[in-house]
């Protein structure tokens, strides 16, 4: 039951907001070969012809539509890709049914349906994540609109078929409005470089706060571990209320949160804590309120992610996208630049999803939402090049796309298994 003092920040549709994680289902596999972007549009049932559209991503960031990578009536909840497979979740017959579909991605970016798995018994997947090797798929569900779970599936790399392997509780992702973060980044799952552990974090009004570290079994099933991250909130009774997690390639994690004096009073300033896994898989942080980075754009954080090469880190919020350079050697974030949106998170230009590609392009979808509450008439997919000197629009950007709400980028191996 949601109390009056609690708030789930709306960022477009629920499914759209989840996938800025997936409210950016941010999944990029950094392998040689061609790179593709897949964008879902038509987030609400009353919008015309929801579709999935594919694009080739050039090294300069320009996008070229792929005619054989378009799916009509693709009313999607979540989207992710890895190796040569694209995964989508949907409710084809309404809330009473849920499926996860897989598509093989050809060398030219064309899509062919590989399999469809009925996951109604496990719940509607609001976000999807693959491990680093794309051997297992994880779906985040809220079966009773209060508690949430991670469901795990093994992936058959030849057929794209899924096999349900287990579930584990993921907490009650409810956030105070004053904390400045929506509940939606709770549907983020980060993996250590060797895929031996997965990490997420949630905080709820009952005071269940902290980082959850799951040990992965050989089949990808998640099991609770006895590893916990120490709090960077400082001395006294202060609480670092965390949400989400993102991992680099060298054993570091970044976790967003807000410092709360108790379970009802949280700072409006969002901070980014840095954690490190040591050789014994202990999780520690040297972050404190004085040293943690604070994203300047403000507004409700809806997702964050490292670039595939871990050189950069981006935080999406109602005010825009803040970009940092990442110093893995010293585990430090250095603010680089921001992409400002012409909106306030509820009207104007609304961020719907973002992802990285292997060329260090930051790609995001936005729509113009009028203040009168009417459906938006315009939407854009925008591509920005990120370099040590800042961010700038890539050649050809932006690209019109009505009602965009999900994005994922993928790099295809030189030899596809299909």
Listed residue (16, 30, 49, 53) closest to 367, CA to CA? 16
Query: What is the C-alpha separation between 407 and 77, in angstroms, rounded?
Result: 11
Q: Which residue has the tokens 């992409």?
A: 339
- As a whole number of angstroms, the distance between CA 204 and CA 298 comes to 21
**Which stretch of 7-21, 27-41, 197-211, 371-385 has the lowest confidence by average pLDDT?**
7-21
Least confident interval from 54-68, 231-245, 284-298, 321-335: 231-245
pLDDT grade, residue 381 (50/70/90)? very high
Length of the chain: 418
Residue 136 pLDDT > 90, yes or no? yes
pLDDT of 278 higher than 90: no
Residues 337-354 have a mean pLDDT of 76
Return the domain boundaries, the chain.
14-411
Q: How far apart are CA 325 and CA 341, in angstroms?
A: 21
Tell me: pLDDT of 280 over 80: no
Is the pLDDT at 153 greater than 90? The verdict is: yes
The predicted model gives 181-204 an average pLDDT of 76
Average confidence score pLDDT of the chain: 79
pLDDT of residue 83: 86
Preceding peptide of 398 cis, ω within 30°: yes
Q: 31 pLDDT exceeds 60?
A: no
Is residue 337 over pLDDT 60? yes
User: What local confidence, expressed as pLDDT, does residue 277 receive?
Assistant: 85
pLDDT score recorded for residue 103: 95
pTM of the model as a whole: 0.85
Q: Where are the alpha helices (DSSP H) in 239-287?
A: none
What pLDDT is recorded for position 45?
Answer: 46
Gap between the terminal Cα atoms of the chain: 46
- The residues with which 326 forms a beta bridge, in sequence order, are 333
Torsion of CA 323, 327, 330, 335, to 10 degrees: -30
- The closest alpha carbon to 28, from 417, 416, 412, 418, belongs to 412
298 pLDDT exceeds 50?
Answer: yes
Instruction: Provide the pLDDT for residue 347.
Output: 55
Give the 3-state secondary structure of residue 379. strand
State what percent of residues in the chain have pLDDT above 90.
45
Assess whether pLDDT exceeds 60 at residue 32.
Answer: no
Between 52 and 236, the higher pLDDT residue: 52
Which pLDDT does position 379 carry in this prediction?
86
Q: 266 in helix, strand or coil?
A: strand
Tens of pLDDT along 65-121? 999 988 876 778 899 999 899 999 988 877 788 999 999 999 999 999 999 999 999
Q: Which of 107-111, 290-294, 370-374 has the lowest mean pLDDT?
A: 370-374
Instruction: Write down the pLDDT at residue 228.
Output: 65
Any idea which of 212-216, 282-286, 331-335 has the lowest mean pLDDT?
282-286
Of the two residues 48 and 197, the one the predictor is more confident about is 197
Q: Residue 312's closest CA among 410, 385, 210?
A: 385
14-411: CATH superfamily? YVTN repeat-like/Quinoprotein amine dehydrogenase (2.130.10.10)
């Amino acid at each position: 039951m949601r109390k009056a003092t609690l708030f789930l920040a709306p960022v477009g549709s629920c499914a759209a907001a989840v996938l800025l994680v997936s409210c950016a289902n941010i999944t990029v596999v950094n392998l040689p070969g061609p790179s593709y972007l897949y964008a879902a549009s038509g987030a609400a049932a009353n919008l015309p012809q929801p579709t999935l559209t594919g694009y080739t991503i050039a090294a300069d960031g320009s996008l070229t539509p792929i005619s054989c990578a378009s799916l009509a009536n693709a009313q999607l909840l979540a989207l992710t890709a890895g190796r040569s497979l694209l995964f989508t979740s949907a409710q084809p017959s309404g809330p009473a049914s849920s499926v996860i579909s897989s598509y093989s991605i050809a060398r030219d970016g064309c899509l062919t349906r590989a399999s469809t798995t009925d996951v109604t018994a496990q719940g509607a997947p609001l976000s999807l994540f693959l491990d680093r090797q794309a051997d297992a798929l994880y779906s985040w569900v809220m079966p009773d609109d209060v508690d949430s779970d991670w469901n795990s599936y093994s992936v058959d790399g030849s057929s794209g078929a899924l096999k349900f392997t287990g579930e584990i509780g993921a907490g009650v992702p409810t956030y105070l409005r004053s904390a400045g973060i929506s509940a939606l980044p709770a549907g983020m799952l980060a993996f250590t470089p060797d895929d031996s552990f997965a990490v997420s974090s949630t905080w709820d009004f009952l005071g269940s706060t902290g980082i959850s570290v799951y040990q992965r079994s050989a089949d990808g099933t998640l099991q609770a571990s006895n590893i916990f991250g120490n709090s960077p909130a400082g001395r006294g009774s202060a609480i670092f209320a965390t949400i989400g997690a993102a991992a680099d390639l060298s054993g570091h994690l970044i976790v967003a949160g807000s410092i709360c004096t108790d379970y009802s009073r949280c700072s409006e300033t969002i901070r980014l804590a840095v954690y490190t896994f040591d050789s014994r898989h202990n999780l520690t942080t040297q972050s404190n309120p004085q040293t943690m980075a604070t994203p300047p754009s403000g507004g409700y954080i809806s997702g964050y992610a490292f670039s595939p090469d871990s050189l950069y880190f981006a935080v999406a919020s109602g005010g825009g996208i803040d970009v940092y350079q990442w110093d893995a050697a010293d585990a430090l974030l250095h603010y680089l630049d921001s992409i400002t949106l012409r909106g306030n998170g509820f009207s104007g230009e609304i961020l719907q999803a973002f992802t990285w590609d292997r060329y260090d392009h930051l790609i995001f979808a936005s729509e113009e939402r009028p203040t009168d509450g009417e459906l938006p008439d315009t939407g854009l997919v925008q591509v920005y090049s990120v370099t040590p000197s800042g961010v700038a629009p890539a050649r050809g950007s932006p690209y019109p796309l009505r009602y965009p709400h999900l994005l994922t980028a993928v790099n295809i191996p030189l030899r596809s298994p299909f």
